[in-house]
Amino acid sequence: MSQGESAVSTSEKWDFAQGMELEKQEKRKTPRGASSPEKAVMLLYVLLALTFVVFTALTVVNLQRVSAAWEALEQARMRSESSHTTAWRNLSEVQHTLDKQLSGGIQAIHSQLLNVSQEVENVQWKVTQCKAECGKELSDRLRTLEQRDVLEPVQRQLAEVKQAQSRASGLLDTALEQIRSLSDILCTKCPAGWEQFAKTCYFFSSTTKSWTAAKDFCANYNAHLAVVNSEQENKFLANHIMDNRVFWLGLTDMHREGSWQWVDSRSLSFSFWNAGEPNNVGQHGEDCATIYANGRWNDAICSNPEHWICERSC
C-alpha cells in the first residue's frame, strides 16, 4: 500500500468515526420515551373515550335526578287533588247537615207558632166573649139603677159604674187590637199545598209552563212569581227545589235588555247569578230568570217550559 492510499483510508475511518459519534450525540439529545405520531393519535382517542364515558355518566345521573323530581311533583299534585276532593266532599256533607238541621229548626219553630197562634185565637175569643157578657151585665145594672127612684148616693154609684164600664170597654178594645196585631205577625194560614217562610206563602209547581203562563197562573191565585228579598229567602227557595228541576222567578229584562226588574216593578238591588250569567245567548235572547237547587240564578228563554214559584201574603 502506498502512502497516499494509507492517508485516504485513515481519513475515511476518521470521517466514519466522527459520523458515529455525531449519531450517538443526536440519540442522547433525543428525549427518552418520545411518542411517535401513531401513539399521539391513540392517546387522543383514549382521552375522547374517557370524556364520552364521563359525559354519559353525568347525563344518566342528571336524568335520574330529573325523573325523581318529576315523580315527586306528580305525587305532590295527586296529594293536592286528593286533599281538594276530600275538603270539597267534607264541605258538601257539612252543608247538607246544616241544611237538614236548619229545616228541622224551621219546622219546629213553625209548629211552635201554630201552637201560639191557636192560643192567641182562644184568648181573642175569650176576650170578645168577656166583652160581650161583661158589657151586657154592666148595661143591665145601669138600666136597673136608672129605673129606680134613688137618692144622690145611688146616683153617684151609678156614675162610678158608668166610668168603670167605659174603662173596661177601653181596656178590652186595646186588648183585642193587640191580639189582632199579634195574629198578623204570627201568620200561619197558608193555603193547602203552599209552603210558609216568615209572613209569606209559596207555591212550588209540579208541572211546567212558559214564564208568561206561569205569571198568569200566579195572578189567578192572588199571587205573583217569587220575588227574592234576602239571602235567607233565596236559601229557603233553593231548599225546596229538586236537583233536576229549574224554577221561574218573577225577574225579567224583556222590557229593556240588561235592566232586570221584579214583577212588583222593583229594580234588582242584589243577585245570586251563576258564574258567567246573565249572558243573553241565542237568537231570541234570554230575558227571564230561573233558580237552581244550589240557589244560583240563570237567564233563560221566556218561552221555555219550566217549573215556577208563586208568592203571596198569608
Structural domain ending residue among the three candidates 161, 185, 209: 185
Least confident of 23-32, 94-103, 111-120: 23-32
Contact residues for 26 (Cβ-Cβ < 8 A; gap 6+): none
Same domain, 235 and 273: yes
- Rounded Cα distance between 192 and 206, Å, is 15
Paired with 309 in beta bridges are: 204
Same domain, 176 and 239: no
Does residue 28 lie within any of the structural domains? Answer: no
Helix (H) or strand (E) holding 159: helix 152-185
169 and 248 belong to one structural domain? no
- Give SS3 for 224: strand
pLDDT in tens, 49-106: 888 888 888 888 888 888 888 888 888 788 867 766 665 676 557 566 666 665 666 6
Query: 223, exposed or middle or buried, with CB in 10 Å at 0-12, 13-18, 19+?
Result: buried
- Residue 71 covered by a domain: no
pLDDT for res 35: 52
CATH number at residue 219: 3.10.100.10
d(CA 286, CA 282): 7
Cell of 159: 156614675
pLDDT of residue 45: 84
pTM over cut 0.75: no
Do 242 and 154 lie in a common domain? no
Could you tell me if 209 and 301 lie in one domain? Answer: yes
Instruction: Please indicate whether residue 216 or residue 86 has the higher confidence score (pLDDT).
Output: 216
Tell me, yes or no, whether 256 lies in a domain: yes
Distance CA(19)–CA(4), nearest Å, equals 23
Chain Cα centroid distance, residue 59:
50
Q: Assess if residue 223 is contained within a domain.
A: yes
- Higher-pLDDT residue of 22 and 42 is 42
Does 245 have pLDDT greater than 50?
yes
Same domain (yes/no): 165, 224: no
* Parent domain of 219: 195-313
